[in-house]
Amino acid sequence: MSVLTRRQQTLFAAVIVFASVSVGHAQVPKAADIAACNAEAQRAVNAGSTSGASPLPTDKDHHRAAGARSTTVTGQAAGDAVKSDDPQLAGMDGEGAKNPAYQAAYRTCMRKAGF
């Protein structure tokens, strides 16, 4: 069994440090990503569940939609973008957030975009 040289150990440690730093920072959706996913979600809702391309809403989508319908978020007017720590939900249209099918389509679009 060979022992790593001092130079190899240093290089290995540097790779680990830089890899862990890049993993720690999540991407943030840009305005173009948000606009594209809101448009895609709206098309999916307009097409309805008869379209095979529309993703099915999860229980979480239904729960979040019910919450969006029953509460008013302070400082957020109807139709404003949703503020969320989850990058797959950030920027979603406020009215669309009330629809579980819209949420499912928006999340799917954001996931495809790498968020």
Alpha carbon separation from 28 to 7, 87, 101, 114 (Å, rounded): 36, 6, 23, 10
- Could you tell me which residues come within 8 angstroms of residue 58 by beta carbon, excluding any fewer than 6 positions away? 104
Would you list the domain boundaries of the chain?
31-112
Provide the β-strand partners of residue 93: 81
pLDDT-based confidence at 76, cuts 50/70/90? very low
pLDDT of 97 strictly over 80: yes
User: How confident is the model over 17-71, as pLDDT tens digits?
Assistant: 565 544 555 578 899 999 999 999 999 999 886 556 678 899 999 999 998 888 6
Q: What number of residues does the chain have?
A: 115
Q: Where are the alpha helices (DSSP H) in the chain?
A: 6-23, 31-47, 59-70, 100-112
